[in-house]
Amino acid sequence: TDRSRARGRLTRRPPGALPTRAARMAATVTVEPAGRCLWDEPVRIAVRGLAPGQPVTLRASLRDEKGALFRAHARYRADATGQLDLERAPALGGSFAGLEPMGLLWALEPEKPLWRFLKRDVQAPFAVQLEVLDGHEPEAGRLLGRAVHERPVRAGRVRATLFLPPGPGPFPGVIDIFGVGGGLLEYRASLLASHGFATLALAYYDFDDLPTRLDSIHLDYFEEAVSYMLQHAQVKGPGIGLLGISLGADICLSMASFLKNISATVSINGSGLSGSTDIRYKQTCLPRLGYDPRRIKVAFSGLLDIVDVRNDVVGGCEDPSMIPIDKAQGPILFIVGLDDHNWRSEFYAQLASDRLQAHGKEKPQIISYPGAGHNIEPPYFPLCPASLHKLVDKPVLWGGEPRAHSKAQVDAWKQILTFFCKHLGGTQKRASPKL
């Protein structure tokens, strides 16, 4: 049941109504679907009870798990009936402009500089506060209405958390791996589970009793994760899918190259190389490519640009640090941000394609997005253009232009789901995941 606070007490709302504290205010903010929904679901935001043609400002805000404030605002004008529907009304300025129904989410910016929007405790929802203010001044306008919209993801915490779709199963399985930040990030896995995939959010360092530093990558640990998935009664074989971003993508490409029972792999801005750490499996060691700190540039903003910091690839696609993806049994999808400033993802994806074709394999699917940076997240996550890099221990540029990056995230997520459905046998039925 939807609930909201009105006049200081908890009240029930009829089905379809949205939680709002507008009892003494002139306008009503509504969000559909009402109640909680998952972060990658689009919502419809509207305001009624305004004067015809009234100028207003819509403001969105939320606090993350560490209390950091994220805010966005946009200026609008009500229609002739005193209503405002963000699916039909273009923003006249603010954090964004034009027809952007989800702009108040993807345009959220941290009040604290260089702070990345992340979700670690997926049992607790994010609560986005939506406010409508009179006029076009986001700080000075009189508050007309307010609503609170929760966007949850659900799970528990272990070295790896398995999210299962509801129902009897078994379900196609996916292992989800993040980058050099370490720890356990579960939000993407929980969203995948809501689309019908049994998804394992896998930590590999700096979590629980795992190593606190990443000196080398040993694939036997990841092989155990594959075995766990395939032995689980709710995971259907004979193979599983892999999804990774950045270093996590390179781990996934390595798993696909050395391990058995990998049916499909998605690399989001991976490099296809053993970059800053050795990659080991049994008697095989891929030496690290390494980097030269003298190649770090300082951008006009004063932030570091590390896009060219890696050492040059020698010997093209046969460089000894190259992951031998020609040994992979299943197809690979490369998602590429053309404004990636972590490294040159477009060049590396082409290098991987060259290697596959040089060894008689089919050309892989590469989907490139102009204006998209390094951290391509699920839909409507706000862009993080710069933040602290764990390896260099300084703030660096990640790249990306907010509008283009947001649109890339929506399309990339659809492409990933379609790819896994095709090669793992999923159905994309939407439901709430469970542990």
Q: Where in the sequence numbering do the catalytic residues fall? A: 246, 340, 374
| Strand segments (E) across 152-224 | 160-163, 171-177, 198-202, 216-218
The span from the CA of 237 to the CA of 232, in Å, is 10
DSSP string over 389-417: ETTTTEEEE----HHHHHHHHHHHHHHHH
Contact of 163 with 88, CB cutoff 8 Å: no
Residue 117's CB is within 10 A of a number of other CB atoms, namely 19
User: Six-digit token pair at 257?
Assistant: 């190259």
The span from the CA of 230 to the CA of 236, in Å, is 7
Contact of 266 with 260, CB cutoff 8 Å: no
The span from the CA of 335 to the CA of 257, in Å, is 18
Contact of 352 with 334, CB cutoff 8 Å: yes
Backbone angles phi, psi at 309, to 5 degrees: -75, -20
Sheet with 55-63, side-by-side order of all strands = 109-110, 69-77, 55-63, 126-134, 143-151
Q: For strand 109-110 and strand 69-77, is the pairing parallel, antiparallel, or unpaired?
A: antiparallel
User: Six-digit token pair at 239?
Assistant: 């193979």
Bridge partners (DSSP) listed for residue 365: 333
Q: For strand 109-110 and strand 284-286, is the pairing parallel, antiparallel, or unpaired?
A: unpaired
The span from the CA of 366 to the CA of 342, in Å, is 18
Contact of 134 with 107, CB cutoff 8 Å: no
Contact of 207 with 214, CB cutoff 8 Å: no
Element at 255 (helix H, strand E): helix 247-258
The span from the CA of 228 to the CA of 193, in Å, is 17
Bridge partners (DSSP) listed for residue 147: 20, 130
